[in-house]
C-alpha cells in the first residue's frame, strides 16, 4: 500500500511538472543561476551556449588537465553501469564530443564479437542506434571530427542530433538507455530535463547521470575548493585563453544540488531504484534510476 501511494505521489508530481511547462507556466521571466550570478532564465541558455562555444576546441585537453585524466575512468564506470547491448536504442545527452557514445559503441562491438562465435547476429549491430544529442553545434562538430579520426564517420550506429535536454525531439518510450555526463548542471530547469529523460525511456530503461558533485570530508573539501577556484580558472586562461568560462564551470558545480537532493529530484521525476555512487570522495557522482 505504501509503495503504491509513493508511486501515485510521484506520478502526480511528474504530471504537474509536465503540465507546468507545456501550458506556458514559465512564460514569465524568472531569475536563475549562472554560476554565482543571478540572471534571467531566457538569458542562461545563451550564456551557457557561449561558454561551450568558447571551450569546444580545447574541451578534451582541458578535461585531461583539470581531472588528471580521471574523467576517462569516470566515463568508463558510467558505461559499465549502463551494460550496453547490441540492438539497443540509446540517447546520450550533452554528449557532443562523443566521449560517452564511443565507449558505448565499443562495448556493444565487444559484446557482438563474442556473440558471433555462437550465433549469427550481424543484423543487431546495424539496428543499434546511439543518438548523440547536444544543444551546441560546436561541440557536435568536435565529436564528428573525432568520429572521423576513429574511422567511425560512416558508422550508422552513431546519430548526431542538435537538441535541447529540456525539449527532446524523440518519441515517448523510445530509448533503452539515457546518459548525461557533465551536462545536467548547465540546463536551466533540471526538473524538466529529468522529466524529458523519463518520457523518452522505455519501461525498464535506465537513466544514468555522471556529474561533478559535492565533497563532504572537511580537509579534502578545503583542498578541492582551493584547487577549483585558484588552479582551474588559471589553467583555462593559460591553455584556452578563457578564464571566465572555467570560472563559471567551477561555480556551477557549487550551485548544483547535493547528491541526496539530486537523487530525490530523480525519484520525483518518476524513476525507481534511484541510487548514486560517489567517486573520489564526491568530486563526481553517478546517479542512476530505472523506469518501470
Task: Of 2-16, 28-42, 72-86, give the lowest mean pLDDT range.
Answer: 2-16
What is the pLDDT, as a whole number, of residue 102?
97
Q: What is the mean pLDDT of residues 200-214?
A: 97
For residue 102, what is its C-alpha cell? 564511443
| 8 A C-beta contact, residue 240 and residue 62 | yes
| 8 A C-beta contact, residue 101 and residue 158 | yes
- Beta strands 201-212 and 175-181: pairing type? parallel
Known binding-site residues equal 97, 134, 164-165
| Type and span of the H or E element at 158 | strand 158-162
Q: Could you give the C-alpha distances from 75 to 40, 182, 208, 248, in angstroms and in order?
A: 32, 10, 11, 22
For residue 139, what is its C-alpha cell? 561541440
Higher-confidence position of 55 and 271: 271
For residue 82, what is its C-alpha cell? 549502463
CA–CA gap between residue 270 and residue 13 (Å, rounded)? 8
CA–CA gap between residue 37 and residue 31 (Å, rounded)? 10
* pLDDT higher than threshold 80 for residue 267: yes
Q: What is the mean pLDDT of residues 166-195?
A: 96
For residue 145, what is its C-alpha cell? 571530427
Which residue from 18, 287, 31, 33 is spatially nearest to 168, judged by alpha carbons?
A: 18
Per-residue model confidence as pLDDT tens digits over 89-123? 999 999 999 999 999 999 999 887 777 666 555 55
Task: Of 46-50, 224-228, 252-256, 260-264, give the lowest mean pLDDT range.
Answer: 46-50
Q: Indicate the pTM of the whole model.
A: 0.83
- SS3 of residue 215 by DSSP: coil
Per-residue model confidence as pLDDT tens digits over 69-83? 999 999 999 999 999
CA–CA gap between residue 63 and residue 66 (Å, rounded)? 5
Known binding-site residues for S-adenosyl-L-methionine equal 97, 134, 164-165
What is the pLDDT, as a whole number, of residue 244?
87
Order of strands across the sheet that contains 284-290: 158-162, 129-134, 89-93, 175-181, 201-212, 284-290, 272-279
Q: How many residues does the chain have?
A: 292
By CB neighbour count within 10 A (0-12 exposed, 13-18 middle, 19+ buried), where does 88 fall? Answer: buried
Question: What is the rounded (10 degree) CA torsion for 209, 242, 219, 185?
Answer: -20
Taken in order 89, 176, 71, 137, is the CA torsion positive or negative? positive
- Beta strands 201-212 and 284-290: pairing type? antiparallel
pLDDT band at 259 (very low <50, low <70, confident <90, very high): very high
pLDDT band at 30 (very low <50, low <70, confident <90, very high): low
Amino acid at each position: 500500500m505504501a509503495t503504491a501511494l509513493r508511486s501515485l505521489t510521484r506520478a502526480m508530481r511528474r504530471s504537474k511538472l509536465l503540465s507546468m511547462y507545456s501550458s506556458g507556466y514559465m512564460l514569465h521571466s524568472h531569475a536563475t543561476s549562472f554560476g554565482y550570478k543571478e540572471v534571467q532564465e531566457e538569458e542562461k541558455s545563451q550564456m551557457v551556449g557561449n561558454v561551450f562555444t568558447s571551450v569546444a576546441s580545447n574541451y578534451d585537453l582541458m578535461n585531461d588537465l583539470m581531472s588528471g585524466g580521471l574523467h576517462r575512468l569516470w566515463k568508463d564506470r558510467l558505461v559499465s553501469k549502463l551494460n550496453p547491448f547490441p540492438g539497443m536504442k540509446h540517447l546520450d545527452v550533452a554528449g557532443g564530443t562523443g566521449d560517452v557514445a564511443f565507449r558505448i559503441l565499443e562495448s556493444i562491438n565487444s559484446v557482438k564479437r563474442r556473440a558471433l562465435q555462437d550465433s549469427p547476429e550481424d543484423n543487431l549491430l546495424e539496428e543499434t542506434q546511439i543518438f548523440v544529442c547536444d544543444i551546441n553545434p560546436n561541440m557536435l562538430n568536435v565529436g564528428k571530427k573525432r568520429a572521423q579520426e576513429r574511422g567511425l564517420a560512416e558508422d550508422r550506429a552513431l546519430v548526431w542530433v542538435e537538441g535541447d535536454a529540456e525539449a527532446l525531439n524523440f518519441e515517448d518510450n523510445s530509448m533503452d538507455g539515457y546518459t548525461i555526463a557533465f551536462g545536467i548542471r548547465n540546463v536551466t530547469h533540471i526538473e524538466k530535463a529529468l522529466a524529458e529523460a523519463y518520457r523518452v525511456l522505455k519501461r525498464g530503461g535506465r537513466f544514468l547521470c555522471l556529474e561533478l558533485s559535492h565533497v563532504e570530508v572537511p580537509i579534502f573539501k578545503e583542498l578541492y575548493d582551493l584547487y577549483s577556484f585558484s588552479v582551474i580558472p588559471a589553467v583555462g586562461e593559460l591553455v584556452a585563453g578563457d578564464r571566465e568560462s572555467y570560472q563559471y564551470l567551477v561555480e556551477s558545480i557549487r550551485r548544483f544540488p547535493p547528491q541526496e537532493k539530486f537523487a530525490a529530484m530523480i525519484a520525483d521525476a518518476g524513476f525507481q531504484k534511484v541510487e548514486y555512487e560517489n567517486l573520489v570522495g564526491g568530486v563526481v557522482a553517478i546517479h542512476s534510476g530505472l523506469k518501470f
